């Protein structure tokens, strides 16, 4: 008996996106999901940059902190 996979079971999400998310999670990245005004995450609407995370990581990479926390 020959196994033939149905085409609809395998797509970009199952073959690429989900394994990539799992791999990045194992490396220590945090999945945030869909960002909107309603979930309480501060982000710049023009650039889609998560400002709190950006400032925190920027200050970690550039010691002493160049951007005060309350600047934005």
Closest by alpha carbon to 41, among 53, 25, 55? 53
Q: What is the DSSP string of the chain?
A: ------GGG--HIIIIIHHHHHHHHHTT-----S--GGGT--B-TTT--BHHHHHHHHHHHSSSPSS-TT--
Q: Domain limits of the chain? A: 7-61
In the numeric block, the tokens 């869909």 are attached to 34
pTM of the model: 0.53
Tokens of 45: 């609407």
Q: Model confidence over 6-64: pLDDT tens digits?
A: 556 788 878 888 899 999 999 998 888 777 666 778 888 898 888 888 988 888 888 77
Which pLDDT value is given to residue 12? 80
């Amino acid at each position: 008996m020959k196994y033939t996979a149905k085409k609809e079971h395998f797509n970009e999400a199952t073959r690429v996106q989900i394994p990539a998310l799992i791999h990045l999670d194992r490396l220590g990245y945090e999945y945030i999901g869909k960002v909107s005004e309603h979930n309480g995450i501060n982000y710049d609407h023009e650039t889609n940059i998560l400002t709190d995370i950006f400032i925190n990581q920027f200050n970690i990479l550039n010691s002493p902190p160049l951007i005060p926390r309350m600047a934005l």
